[in-house]
Amino acid sequence: MKKFTQWCVCSCVALGLAFPAAAQQRLLPDSIMASMKKVAGWQFRYLEKEGWQHAKTDWTNGALYAGVYAFAEYANDQQYFQRLIDISAENNWDAGRRRFFADDYCVGQTYSQLYGVYGEDYMISRWRRLADSIVAQPHTESLEWVNNIHSREWAWCDALFMGPPALAYLSTVTGEPKYLQTAIKLWWKTSDFLYSKENSLYFRDGRYFNQKEKNGQPVFWSRGNGWVMGGLVRMLNNIQPGDPARAAFERQFKEMAAKVASLQNADGTWHAALLDQESYPAKETSGTGFFLYAIAWGVNNGLLPKETYRPVLVKGWAALQSSVQPNGKLGFVQMIAAAPGKATADDTEVYGVGAYLLAGTELLKMSVKEQVWPVTIELYNPAGAPSGLTEMDYKTLADSWKPLRRGPFKITNAITGEEYAYQLIYEGQKEPVKILVDAPLAPGAKVMATLEEGLPAPVVKKTYGRYVPERKDDFAWENDRVAFRMYGRALEATPKEMAYGVDFWNKRTGNLVIDKWYKRTNYHKDDGDGLDYYHVGLMLGAGGIAPYVGDSIWHSRNYTAQRIIDSGALRTTFELGYEPWNVNGKQVNVTKTVSIDAHAQLSKMVIRYTDELPVAIGISKRKEAGTILLEEGKGVMGYWEPQHGEDGITGIGCVVLSPVKEMKVEKGHILTVSATDKNKTVTYYTGGAWNKAGIITGADQWFTYLRQQAERLRKPVRVKISK
C-alpha cells in the first residue's frame, strides 16, 4: 500500500474560509485515475450509442477533447489518443464553418497537441491557414455586443478558453511566435473590456455590465469565469518562463484564484452565479471542474501556495465525485447558456466531462507528489509511436537517491503500484551506467514512477546471446520475438556454406530458442516454434554492412574475436572483432557492437571502422517479386519478401540513424549508402518479422513498424527526476 503524507488542517485565513477536517483527506492517485476512466468511459459509450449532439468541431466538444488529451497522457492507453485522431480525421482536421468565431476553432488546440506528438503536417495545415488569417485581421472593432461582434472578436469571456489557447498551442508546436503574440494581444483586449478589477472576475459580455442578481450583486457567471481560468492555464502552458508577457498572466491568474476560492460554496462546488449562489441552490460541475483544474495547476506549478488552496481542491474534488452516477455519468452540468441557470443531477454535457478530466489530471499530479517517496521519475514519450525500453542515467538517479548504490531496489508506478522490470546496464564498466526499465508508453503518454528499497520481483529472461563454437563459430542472439546470427572464421573452412552477412531466424514463440535449436538435427524444419529458412550466402543478408568504395561492396572476412558486454533479462550486448582486410587498396579494420532489447524486432548495430569510409547497409533481394520501401529522408529501408513456399513470408528492414546519401536497388541488394561520422562510426538498427509469428503479418504493418521505430529513435523517452 502506498504511503501518503498527512496534512494539517489549514485555517485558510488569507481566504476567509474554514473547512472541516474531512476536507483534509488524502488524495489517492489510483482512485482519481479510476474515477476519470469511469467518467470518460461513460461519455464515449453515450456518444457511440446516442450519437453526437453537437458538431465535432463545436466548442462543446473542443472542451471535451482538451480534457481527454490531458487524461490520456497519464492513462497511458493508446485508445484515448486514437479516439482524438479518429475524430479529428472525421473533421478533416479543420475548424468549423464560422471561420472567425472562436467557438468553431477551439478544436485547434487538440490538432496542435496531436501534431506535437505525431508530427504529421496534415494535422495542422488547415488550422494553420485559418490562424494566419486570424493574425492578419486588424482587430480594431469595439467589443460591444452588437453587429454579431462575437463572430469576429473575442467579445465574451468564454472565448478566452477557446481562442487564445488554440493560437498559443499552434505557436508552441510550430515555433512561429506570431500566433502566440496575437493571442496575448487579443487576450488583453478582451480583459480590458470585460474584467472587473474591483471583483477580480469577468463579466460574460458587455450586456451584463449593469445587470444584477436577485440579491443586488453583479452577474458573474461561474462557468464563464471557469473557462477564463482554464484559458489562463493553457496560455501559461505556452508562455515560457522569462517571457516578459508572462508576468501579467500570472498576476491575473493569482487575483482570480484568490477571489474564486473565497466564493466556494459549502457543498464544495461553485454554483451557477458566483455572487448569488443562494438563488441557484444546485451544484454546478462544469464551472467547478474548470476552477479546480486551474487552482490545482497553480499549486502544481508553484503559483499558488499549497497550504492555502489544498483544502479548496480536496473539498471541490469530493463534490465533483459525488456528482458522478454509478454508471459514470457526470451530473449537475448547467446546459448551454450565456448566464447563470439551473442544473439538475441528470443534466450533463460533454464540456462538463472535459472539465472533470482536466481537473482530475492536475489533482492526479498533485496526489503523486504527496506520496512519501524519496524520488519521483516522470517518463514522457514525445514520439508518435509506442516506446520501447527506457534508459535512465544511473549516476543521476544514484545522486538523487543514495540507497540506489546500497542494494536491491524496485521501480514502481506511482499511480497504480505496478512494478516494472529493469536491468542494470554496465557497458563494460565496474559501476552501472544505465538502468533499462520496461515501462511501456503509448505515443504522447507519461508514466510516473518511483524507487523503493527491496528485492524486485523476478524477471523472466527475454534476451540472450552466445558464441556457438559447436556450430563453426556462429554468434547467435535473440529476444522474445526474433533471433539472428553472424558468422565466425571457422565457417570459412567450408566454402559451400560460406556466408558474410546477418542471418535472420524465423521464430514464432516468446521463448528463447537458440540453445534448443542448435541441439536439433535440423533447425531448417518448423517443429512448432519456427525455423531458419532465410538465405544469406555471399551477401549482406538481413542488414549487414560493408565499405562501399568505387561502386563496389567490400566484404570483410568473418569475425575472429567476440565478447559479451551485457547479458540480462531485457538487453544483451556483445562485440565482434575482425581482422584487417583490403578495401580498394587500403587496409581497414572494424568492430561491431550489437545489442538487442526485449520486445523489439530490430537489433542495434554500432559499427566502428579504423578509417572514414562510405558504407552500404544491405538487404538481400530475392529474384521473385516482393515489396520494397525506400524512405531516404526518414532513414527507413524495408523489404517484404515473396512467399517462400509453405514457410511463409519474411520482412527485413533497417532504420539508419547516420545521414543517408542514397537508397537504391542494385547488386542483388536493397542498399542504403551512408558514411562513417567523425568518430568513424555508423549506427543503425536492423531486423525482421515473420508473418507466421502472428505479430506483423503484412507489408503495410511491417513498413509502419519501421517508420514508428525511426520516429521513436529520433524522439526518445524523456526522463525527469524530482525529489
Reply yes or no on whether the pLDDT at 677 is more than 50.
yes
Asked if residue 78 lies in contact with residue 85, where contact means CB atoms within 8 angstroms, the answer is no
CB atoms within 10 A of CB 268: 23
Written as nine digits, the cell of 638 is 524495408
Residue 475: closest CA among 600, 576, 579:
576
pLDDT tens digit sequence for 496-519: 999 999 999 999 999 999 999 999
Neighbouring residues of 488: CB distance < 8 A, sequence distance ≥ 6: 467, 472, 473, 474, 475, 558, 559, 560, 562
The strand order across the sheet containing 636-640 reads: 561-567, 571-577, 590-597, 602-609, 681-690, 650-656, 636-640, 627-631
Rounded to whole angstroms, the Cα distance separating 431 from 392 reads: 14
DSSP at 141? S
CA–chain centroid gap for 614, Å, is 36
Kind and range of the H or E element at 542?
strand 542-549
Rounded to whole angstroms, the Cα distance separating 246 from 249 reads: 5
User: Taking residues 475-498, what's their average pLDDT?
Assistant: 96
Q: What percent of the chain has pLDDT over 90?
A: 95
Task: Tell me the pLDDT band of 18, cut-offs 50, 70 and 90.
Answer: very low
Task: Tell me the pLDDT band of 12, cut-offs 50, 70 and 90.
Answer: very low
> Could you list the active site residues?
158
Asked if residue 396 lies in contact with residue 721, where contact means CB atoms within 8 angstroms, the answer is yes
Rounded to whole angstroms, the Cα distance separating 656 from 633 reads: 10
Residue 150: its pLDDT value, please? 97
Taken as a whole, the chain contains a residue count of 723
Reply yes or no on whether the pLDDT at 262 is more than 60.
yes
Residue 26: its pLDDT value, please? 79
The pTM assigned to this predicted structure is 0.93
Rounded to whole angstroms, the Cα distance separating 270 from 284 reads: 6
Rounded to whole angstroms, the Cα distance separating 616 from 629 reads: 16
Query: Cell 542494494 maps to which residue?
Result: 407
- Euclidean distance between the first and final Cα of the chain, in Å? 20
Q: Is 540 helix (H, G, I), strand (E, B) or coil?
A: coil
The DSSP string of 323-356 is: TB-TTS-B-----S-SS-----TT---HHHHHHH
The strand order across the sheet containing 376-380 reads: 390-393, 434-438, 419-425, 409-413, 446-453, 376-380, 718-722
pLDDT tens digit sequence for 292-329: 999 999 999 999 999 999 999 999 999 999 999 999 99
pLDDT tens digit sequence for 436-452: 999 999 999 999 999 99
Neighbouring residues of 495: CB distance < 8 A, sequence distance ≥ 6: none
Phi first, then psi: what are they for 122, rounded to 5°?
Answer: -65, -20
Asked if residue 428 lies in contact with residue 102, where contact means CB atoms within 8 angstroms, the answer is no
pLDDT tens digit sequence for 636-648: 999 999 999 999 9
Neighbouring residues of 632: CB distance < 8 A, sequence distance ≥ 6: 660, 662, 663
Residue 432: closest CA among 423, 445, 420, 443:
423
